[in-house]
């Protein structure tokens, strides 16, 4: 293997023989740079680069007869088209799993060709594209044919290897083990997964991409004697003669789960054949699928059909009929593309899974028979959002309480009052204002024009001014009127409760960060990573003088159109003097009672 120049973007392989291969004393070829248990490199077997020719096509020489399809230039063109087709199906995604921003080791089993065009321009290949996308990763590509490119990125290494060999020869600690188009030509997927599983690090993934070699049609446009369908059925029978299971991609989900992987998911997509769909994207997919099939028919007509005992004339007749049938756009045919992936289990603290409620097998029966419980997708009560629901707790609709900012300037004035009277601080849905709300009656925000409950102007909040001025329908909140957040409440408890002069903002804290360590760090989406000062000032009771100052401040800014003048209902209520029905029962005792409560709290803080 020629040494890589670390100063260049690509490494040069001087010849095809430079593909790394191990030739051990037992006659099996192994990896030079795998783990410590591997044998050292002694020589390169000449049989690796000696091609085999049959039926007018070129086949691999290493492990002769192991792979039933050719590896000549025509087959390499098919792989190039297939790579473009798969990228079109996945919207440009090379894989579906999340391996982080800096993966360390990735392996592509059955990598195929490097797809170098005649003018020397590098075309698409999965291993090279992944290496370009993740410079931090060491990418390995393995294949039975030594047809990989001479120019590869410095973090790519190609090996000639049989993935179904008795030993795994490429080390361990992989973030992703990838298979594309391999399920149909593997004899023992379960055995391969058992060898792959211990080589994947905890939290790593395995992923399969496979197009199932079977023709489907959902209407009557494809007859029972369709030549393309009959050709593929014959090819599947021929592949089974070699010991393969061409349709086992349909059972990948069960096999991956049985191998010990968790979070297993299988996605199946219908891919049209030819240009019969009306949708533009589907039409493009159909044309690409037609081109890939056209290039693959001759390879399937060689060894697989010959294994069935068909003469060259019979194989040629079937091939010509299938090619002619492929041009028929009146038949609404399609194939299925299967994407299956699973994750190697990790410690429970790292999985970040939300707790699910208990579910029993008899739960649906109880709900259906005795009408117990309410559906989770029931609509939101509009009366509760406006502050008055006549049904109260007997209401069959959801009562959603919005506690995002509350009150003028983001001050949470009265949590208890809001809890009892409904979502008094609910805002008008900004998506509904633009006609883009997709939740409909399930939206937790108001779907009505209410100038007192308009959402805050994002432009004014960022820039301090709004080009629409007083004509802007959104709320212009002066930054000077915003109350600072209460650090005691952020830490979990504020002794003043709703009497605190600072803002109480409800936040969802990351439970892993609170426990001492969060593996996601700053990218965590489970909650906030709060940081508190050691020297916290004592909380201060919001007095009547502060309330009058707030009114004066609002009046000062009311003339500039920044804020509407707060109503008297925004003043601080007496939480302990409410009756059972939630109405105020102060009877002229607000002032003395508030001053008495405030004095007691201040005395308590002074003593403590």
pLDDT digits (tens, 9 = 90+) for 430-458: 888 878 888 877 777 788 777 777 888 88
The tokens of 535 are what? 């020297």
Report helix angle 280-307 to 312-326, nearest 10.
170
Whether the Cβ atoms of residue 110 and residue 181 lie closer than 8 Å to each other: yes
Structure confidence at residue 119 (pLDDT): 42
Cα pseudo-dihedral 430, 436, 441, 447, rounded to 10: 40
Alpha-carbon gap, residue 596 to 608, rounded angstroms: 19
Alpha-carbon gap, residue 139 to 160, rounded angstroms: 14
pLDDT digits (tens, 9 = 90+) for 463-472: 778 888 888 8
- Would the pLDDT of 97 be above 60? yes
Alpha-carbon gap, residue 407 to 409, rounded angstroms: 6
Please give the model's pTM, rounded to 2 decimal places: 0.53
Alpha-carbon gap, residue 577 to 599, rounded angstroms: 17
Between residues 104 and 367, which one has the greater pLDDT? Answer: 104
Q: Which helix (H) or strand (E) holds 54?
A: strand 52-54
Alpha-carbon gap, residue 410 to 400, rounded angstroms: 19
Alpha-carbon gap, residue 486 to 560, rounded angstroms: 29
In terms of average pLDDT, the best of 308-322, 383-397, 484-498 is 308-322
Structure confidence at residue 207 (pLDDT): 96
Query: Which range, of 176-185, 257-266, 398-407, 527-536, averages the lowest pLDDT?
Result: 398-407
Mean pLDDT across 360-368 = 79
- Would the pLDDT of 338 be above 90? yes
Percent of the chain's residues with pLDDT above 70: 71
- Would the pLDDT of 155 be above 80? yes
Q: Which domains does the chain have, with CATH numbers?
A: 10-346 (3.40.50.150), 382-601 (no CATH)
Q: Which residues contact 206 (CB under 8 A, 6 or more apart)?
A: 176, 177, 178, 179, 193, 196, 197, 200, 256, 261, 341, 342, 344
Q: Is the dihedral of CA 236, 238, 239, 244 positive or negative?
A: positive
- Would the pLDDT of 565 be above 70? no
* Mean pLDDT, the chain, whole residue set: 74
In terms of average pLDDT, the best of 174-188, 334-348, 398-412 is 174-188
- Would the pLDDT of 557 be above 80? no
Whether the Cβ atoms of residue 340 and residue 208 lie closer than 8 Å to each other: yes
Name the pLDDT band for 339 (thresholds 50, 70, 90). very high
DSSP 263: E
- Alpha-carbon distance values, 367 to 359, 362, 393, 395 (Å): 12, 9, 20, 18
Alpha-carbon gap, residue 560 to 548, rounded angstroms: 20
Name the pLDDT band for 592 (thresholds 50, 70, 90). very low
- Would the pLDDT of 136 be above 80? yes
Q: What angle do CA 168, 155, 203 make, to 5 degrees?
A: 55
Structure confidence at residue 463 (pLDDT): 79
Name the pLDDT band for 586 (thresholds 50, 70, 90). very low
Between residues 348 and 408, which one has the greater pLDDT? Answer: 348
Q: Where are the beta strands (DSSP E) in 273-405?
A: 333-344
Structure confidence at residue 409 (pLDDT): 34
Alpha-carbon gap, residue 487 to 608, rounded angstroms: 18
Structure confidence at residue 159 (pLDDT): 86
The tokens of 491 are what? 């830490």
CA atoms within 13 A on the CB side of 522: 1
Find the length of the chain.
608
- Bridge pairing between strands 333-344 and 200-211: antiparallel
Name the pLDDT band for 353 (thresholds 50, 70, 90). low
Whether the Cβ atoms of residue 301 and residue 238 lie closer than 8 Å to each other: no
Structure confidence at residue 356 (pLDDT): 62
Whether the Cβ atoms of residue 476 and residue 466 lie closer than 8 Å to each other: yes
Structure confidence at residue 226 (pLDDT): 94
Alpha-carbon gap, residue 69 to 75, rounded angstroms: 8
Work out the burial of residue 452: count CB atoms within 10 Å of its CB; fewer than 13 is exposed, 13-18 middle, 19 or more buried: exposed
pLDDT digits (tens, 9 = 90+) for 29-64: 334 333 433 333 334 456 666 778 888 898 887 888
- Bridge pairing between strands 52-54 and 174-180: unpaired
Name the pLDDT band for 23 (thresholds 50, 70, 90). very low
Percent helix, strand and coil across the chain, each rounded to 5?
35, 15, 50
DSSP 483: P
């Amino acid at each position: 293997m020629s040494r890589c120049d670390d100063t260049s973007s690509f490494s040069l392989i001087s010849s095809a023989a430079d593909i790394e291969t191990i030739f051990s004393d037992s006659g099996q070829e192994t990896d030079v740079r795998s783990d410590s248990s591997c044998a050292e490199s002694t020589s390169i077997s000449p049989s690796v680069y000696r091609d085999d020719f049959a039926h007018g096509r070129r086949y691999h020489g290493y492990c002769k007869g192991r792979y039933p399809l050719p590896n000549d230039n025509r087959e390499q063109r098919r792989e190039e088209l297939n790579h473009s087709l798969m990228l079109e199906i996945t919207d440009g995604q090379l894989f579906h799993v999340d391996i982080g921003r800096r993966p360390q080791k990735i392996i592509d089993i059955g990598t195929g060709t490097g797809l170098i065009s005649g003018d020397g321009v590098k075309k698409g290949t999965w291993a090279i594209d992944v290496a370009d996308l993740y410079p931090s990763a060491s990418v390995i590509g393995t294949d039975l044919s030594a047809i990989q490119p001479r120019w590869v990125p410095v973090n790519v290494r190609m090996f000639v290897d049989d993935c179904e060999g008795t030993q795994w020869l490429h080390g361990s600690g992989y973030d992703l083990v990838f298979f594309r188009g391999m399920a149909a030509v593997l004899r023992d997927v379960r055995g391969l997964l058992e060898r792959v599983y211990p080589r994947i690090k905890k939290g790593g993934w395995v992923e399969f991409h496979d197009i199932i070699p079977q023709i489907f049609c959902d209407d009557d446009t494809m007859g029972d004697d369709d030549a393309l369908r009959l050709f593929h059925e014959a090819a599947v029978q021929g592949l089974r003669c070699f010991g393969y299971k061409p349709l086992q991609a349909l059972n990948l989900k069960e096999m991956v789960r049985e191998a010990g992987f968790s979070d297993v998911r299988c996605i199946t997509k219908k891919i049209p054949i030819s240009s019969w769909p009306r949708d533009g994207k589907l039409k493009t997919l159909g044309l690409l699928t037609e081109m890939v099939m056209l290039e693959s028919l001759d390879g399937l007509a060689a060894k697989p059909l010959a294994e069935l005992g068909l003469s060259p004339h019979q194989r040629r007749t079937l091939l010509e009929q299938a090619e002619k049938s492929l041009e028929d756009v009146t038949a609404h045919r399609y194939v299925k593309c299967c994407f299956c992936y699973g994750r190697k289990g990790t410690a429970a603290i790292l999985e970040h899974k939300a707790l699910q409620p208990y579910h029993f097998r008899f739960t649906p029966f109880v709900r259906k028979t005795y009408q117990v419980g309410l559906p989770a997708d029931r609509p939101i009560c509009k009366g509760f959002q406006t502050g008055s629901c006549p049904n109260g707790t007997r209401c069959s609709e959801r009562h959603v309480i919005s506690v995002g900012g509350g009150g003028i300037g983001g001050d949470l004035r009265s949590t208890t009052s809001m809890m009892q009277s409904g979502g008094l601080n609910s805002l008008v849905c900004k998506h509904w204002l633009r006609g883009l709300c997709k939740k409909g009656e399930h939206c937790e925000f108001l779907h009505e024009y209410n100038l007192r409950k308009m959402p805050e102007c994002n432009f004014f909040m960022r820039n301090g001014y709004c080009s629409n001025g007083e004509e802007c329908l959104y709320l212009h909140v002066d930054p000077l009127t915003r109350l600072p957040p209460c650090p005691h409440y952020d830490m979990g408890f504020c002794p003043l409760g709703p009497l605190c002069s600072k803002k109480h903002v409800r936040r969802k804290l990351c439970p892993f960060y609170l426990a001492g360590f969060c593996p996601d760090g700053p990218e965590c989406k489970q909650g906030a990573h709060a940081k508190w000062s050691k020297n916290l000032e004592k909380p201060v009771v919001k007095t009547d003088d502060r309330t009058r100052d707030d009114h004066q401040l609002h009046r000062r800014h009311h003339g500039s159109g920044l804020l509407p003048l707060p109503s008297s209902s925004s003043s601080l209520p007496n939480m302990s003097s409410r009756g059972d029905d939630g109405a105020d029962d102060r009877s002229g005792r607000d002032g003395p009672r508030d001053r008495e409560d405030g004095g007691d709290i201040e005395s308590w803080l002074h003593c403590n």
